[in-house]
Chains A and B, each alone.
Chain A
Amino acid sequence: MTDSCCVIVGASHAGGQLAVSLRQQGWQGRILVIGEEPYLPYNRPPLSKTFLSGQKQVNDLLIRPQAQYEKVGIEFLLGQNVTVIDRVQKKVILSGGDEISYGKLALATGARVRTLEILGSTLKGVLYLRDIGDVEKIRQHIGPGKKAVIVGGGYIGLETAAMLRQLNLDVTLLESADRILNRITAPELSAFYARVHEEEGVRIETSVSITEFAGDTHVSEVKCQDGSMYPADLVIVGIGVLPNTELAETAELKTSNGILVDGNCLTNDPDIVAAGDCTSHFNAFYDRQLRLECVQNAMDQAKAAAATLCGKPNQYNALPWFWSDQYDLKLQIAGLSNDFDELVLRGDPESGRKIAAFYYRSGKVIAVDAVNSPQEFMIGKQIISRELEVDKRKLSDPAVAMKSLIV
């Protein structure tokens, strides 16, 4: 079986890793990766950071150069859309009508931005941030002293706000909830991040309901329900993503907020695997369905999917982790903190730029947010994955070394 053609839809982080892992695990046949964007798989995290600032160029983002893929016989078809999967005849059809047969198929279709559909949302200068093209557009609109309004106080919004401030734009961030990061962190961490952003000169407004982007052809103002108005030379909307599941759905693969996969990244078709942001899997540790949006999940699922296709199934069972760089804050997150019932803070959120938060549920640590606290992150990962019990009083005391807590 491993001498047939494997077609991978999506030249994403997951798609690229899947191709490489297939070769590493002994896939003998052709490997063809089809991508919508004109680029080889690239690192997305720098988009809102060093690529936005212009420090990095497209070539710096590529995970591997073309020559390395060629060396191991991984082919790419870029700037192409797959519109149909024919599971009976085992082929995919491209938007131009070309058909490509597969022995095995892998879906790494990723996610797309959730858009804000209000009056004026098609005006020039109303922008999103997901891929290289998006950031190239943003780069055309920025400059010192320009007024940027960021819609959404999640990580993308905050990272973008941080970078635009560093580029000397005038930055206002509007959040619909009553605090930034409200879906993902404890109120204490939200307050910490709000304080730092304000110290850096970002104006943050919460509980804001935006009703209109106003302007002639180009956005000039953001209008809100309470009558408030914010002048804007550009608006960047960062209100989350939606999984790209339509292709799978029309092929009657099972989906539910993501393409459903088992622990081996198999879909309900034994010849089709899926990996990355587009999937939903049951996670035993958190005891629920999860659709993760992170590099770690993209890479680990890609490896598990490749192992499955090579006939060496190896259950995907990794602790999710994330990171976010803003100003001089390096945030490292292990695990998922939703539904926590107790919080242990290590450090003072009201001053300084270093803090760690340990989230508990039913007496077990389920997540850690560590800001400029790498040991809290590293040891926290072990506490979570090995389900270790630690003394909460010591955990809350920055003077007690993290390593001493788990010996």
Chain B
Amino acid sequence: MPVITYISADGAINDIEVESGSSVMQGAVDSMIDGIVAECGGSCSCATCHCYVDDAWQDKVPAASEMEKDMLECVLEPEPNSRLSCQINITDDLDGLVVRLPKSQF
């Protein structure tokens, strides 16, 4: 099973096994990682599952939709590597993916 590394804003590191077919958001919610809120349950409606994808993984993660890009522009502290974690589906290719979580979700 792919392992995803979540690094919280306070530096805490969690390596979590997440099933293929799930999402980066769902992996964090399942494991009760605090930095992902995910109010809309993964429908790209709330932008409370914002994360930063590690530079080394940028090219391996499929690109964001226009809807997601529009929302990302307006999150707190957007960066070029910002993503909504509910929109990153887990595949075997993402084994080892590293994401950082923001200080707060809005």
* A interface residue numbers (CB < 8 A to B): 20, 23-24, 43, 45-46, 63-65, 68, 72, 295-296, 299, 321, 323, 325, 330, 332, 372, 374-375, 378-379, 381-382, 402-403
Query: B1-9, B32-40, B54-62, B87-95: which one contacts chain A?
Result: B32-40
Interface residues of B (CB under 8 A from A): 29-32, 34, 37, 39-41, 43-47, 67, 70-71, 73-75, 106
Shortest beta-carbon distance from A13 to chain B in Å: 9
Q: Given contacts A323-B46, A374-B67, A403-B73, are A64 and B29 in contact (CB under 8 A)? A: yes
Q: In the complex, what residue of chain A is closest to B40 when comparing beta carbons?
A: A323
Complex contacts, B40 vs chain A, CB 8 Å:
45, 295, 323
Cβ 8 A contact of B32, one of A72, A296, A330: A72
Residues of A within 8 A of B32 (CB): 20, 23-24, 64, 68, 72
Contact B45 A332 (CB under 8 A): yes
Across the interface, do A381 and B41 meet the contact criterion of CB distance under 8 Å?
A: no
Known: A65-B30, A325-B43, A332-B45. A374 touches B70 (CB 8 A): yes
Tell me if A63 and B41 are in contact (CB < 8 A).
yes
Q: Using Cβ atoms and an 8 Å threshold, which residues of chain B touch A379? A: 74
Closest to B47 in A: A378
Residues of B within 8 Å of A20, CB to CB, are: 32
Query: What is the CA–CA distance of A20 and B29 in the complex, to the nearest angstrom?
Result: 10
In the bound complex, what is the Cα–Cα distance between A397 and B29 (angstroms)? 39
Closest chain-A Cβ to B25's Cβ sits at a distance in Å of: 12
Residues of A within 8 A of B39 (CB): 295-296, 299, 321
Q: Can you give 21 A-B contacts (C-beta < 8 A)?
A: A24-B32, A24-B34, A43-B41, A46-B41, A46-B43, A64-B29, A68-B30, A295-B41, A296-B46, A299-B37, A299-B39, A323-B40, A325-B45, A330-B44, A330-B45, A374-B70, A374-B71, A375-B73, A379-B74, A403-B73, A403-B74
> Taking chain A's interface residues, is the majority helix, strand, or loop, or is none over half, making it mixed?
helix
Given contacts A20-B32, A68-B31, A330-B67, contact A323 B43 (CB under 8 A): yes
**A residues near B43, Cβ cutoff 8 Å:** 45-46, 323, 325
**Which residues of chain A are within 8 angstroms of B106 by Cβ–Cβ distance?**
381-382
Known: A65-B30, A296-B39. A323 touches B45 (CB 8 A): yes
Additional pairs, 9, CB under 8 Å, beyond known A332-B46, A375-B70? A45-B40, A64-B29, A296-B39, A321-B46, A323-B40, A323-B45, A332-B45, A378-B74, A402-B74
Residues of the A chain whose Cβ atoms lie less than 8 Å from the Cβ of B37: 299
Given A43-B41, A45-B40, A374-B74: A64 and B67 within 8 A (CB)?
Answer: no
CB-defined contacts of A321 to chain B, threshold 8 Å: 39, 46
Cα(A23)–Cα(B33), bound, Å: 12
Contacts of B41 in A (CB 8 A): 43, 45-46, 63, 295
How many Å from the CB of B68 to the closest CB on chain A?
8
Q: How far is the CB of B10 from chain A (nearest CB, A)?
A: 14
Report how far A68 CA is from B37 CA in the complex, Å: 17
Give the distance in Å from the alpha carbon of A79 to the alpha carbon of B73 in the complex: 44
The 6 closest A-B pairs by CB, nearest first: A378-B74, A323-B45, A43-B41, A374-B70, A374-B71, A68-B30
Q: In the bound complex, do residue A378 and residue B71 qualify as a contact, i.e. CB atoms below 8 Å apart?
A: yes
Does B30 contact A378, Cβ atoms closer than 8 Å?
no
Give the distance in Å from the alpha carbon of A372 to the alpha carbon of B70 in the complex.
10
What residue in chain B is nearest A46 (Cβ atoms)? Answer: B41
A30 nearest CB across to chain B (Å): 18
Q: Max chain A CB contacts within 10 Å: which of B37, B70, B74?
A: B74
Q: Write out the residue numbers on chain A whose beta carbons fall within 8 Å of the beta carbon of B45.
A: 323, 325, 330, 332
Query: Residue on B with the closest CB to A319?
Result: B106
CB distance from B27 to the nearest CB of A (A): 10
Query: Which residues of A lie under 8 Å from residue B75 when comparing CB positions?
Result: 378
Q: How far is the CB of B33 from chain A (nearest CB, A)?
A: 10
A207 to chain B, nearest CB (A): 32
A299 CB contacts on chain B under 8 angstroms: 37, 39
Q: A67 → chain B, closest Cβ, in Å?
A: 9
Chain B, Cβ-Cβ closest to A321: B46
For B31, list chain A residues within 8 Å (CB). 68
Q: How far is the CA of A382 from the CA of B76 in the complex (A)?
A: 10
